[in-house]
Amino acid sequence: MTARVLVVDDILSNVKLLEAKLSAEYFEVVTAFNGEDALRRMDEHEPDIILLDVMMPGMDGFEVCRRIRANPRTAHIPVVMVTALDQPADRVAGLDAGADDFLTKPVDDSALFARVRSLVRLKMMMDEMRMRETTGQSIGLIDPAGALIDMQQGGRILVVEDRPESVAWLEQSLVPDNELAAVDAFEEAIVRVRGGDYDLIIVSLGLRSFDGLRLCSQLRSLPEVRNVPILVVVSDGDRRKLTQALEMGVNDYLSRPVDRNELVARVRTQLRKKRYADRLRQNVQLSLEMAITDQLTGLHNRRYMSRHLDTLIANAQKSGKPLAFLIMDIDHFKSINDCHGHDIGDEVLRQFAARISANVRGIDLACRYGGEEFVVVMPDTDVTFATTVAERLRKHVEIEPFKITSAPGTLYP
């Protein structure tokens, strides 16, 4: 996997060292030597990830990170702070500023590269959803998902840990802001995640009864958990397990002994990212639905019917079963618009569509063809049955008035 990395540090030798190491791993490297320069370079080069020093003259790394997160165009770009600062309070300050990780120099190369690849892989998935969302916005189907940094709610967390004292400490740290459940067995964890709508899974890699890495691998293969972030707890210095975890798709990690404030900050970051990604997925799904749905009536639109008509006809020919078409419009609809206005005309169309939906089967395809014209395609239906449905619908329209929001309050089309 290759990516464009922006390296930001005010010390030339540090920049050159990172540039050489990353280039040897086939990353494309862009460099900057202060905060203002970094923000300009981001606009020019659109990096996939940023390696950011903290202690720089003028604008420090914390402020640079805050500005990156405050800009909707750059808020999704992962930021890793690489610095000589090594206190838990420094890590928490970096995470609170919006950093995805906080690595202390000297950084182990394998851990750095694994973290960079992991964050870039997650960003590429996010980029695909952002691109689809942008397409939906450009044709007026959906509103943007909002800013990643704005979402601060708690979430439902599953903890996989077989040390009761560790579970109790996690509960004290994360509840009541979050809802916590804990399991200590491999199979129980699988059952829970398949049946529960969790926002985050915390897995200890120091489990005594089974391999936590194997559980992470299994979780990543489950469709129900594919989009749920996983945070692992690893013993300090266990680079092998950490590297393996990141390479298999784990989102974040904590090193023992775990600092309470860092735990809270990393959990909050992962929950914020998940909610943003969920919003993106919902918007993409909404844009797909709206592309095939008539926005006024909620029925399928003419485009959708046209795309599926050939398939329905081919299936009917292949099976030898009849295929019926019910085509209808509303008599005197123009006079409704002329006398009461188009808003009232829209109310009539929505109610007419609702009556169609109430009188056809789930396998039938009900569409708004255009204006006041509607079509119902009825698979495995002969003329006699289709005529019965059409007459039932006609009587429903004839007998029951349409309720409108202006005088006289009801209409008979």
Which residues are known to be catalytic? 372
SS3 358: helix
SS3 10: coil
Question: Nearest-5° angle of CA 187, CA 190, CA 191?
Answer: 85
- Give the pairing of strands 323-329 and 252-256: unpaired
Between the alpha carbon of residue 116 and those of residues 75, 149, 327, the distances in Å are 17, 21, 58
CA gap 104, 81 in Å, rounded: 8
Tokens of 413: 């089309």
> For the chain, what's the residue count?
413
How would you list the strands of the sheet with 156-160, edge to edge? 179-183, 156-160, 200-204, 230-235, 252-256
Give the DSSP per-residue string, 219-245: HHT-GGGTTS-EEEEEETT-HHHHHHH
Between the alpha carbon of residue 359 and those of residues 363, 381, 394, 396, 401, the distances in Å are 12, 14, 10, 9, 16
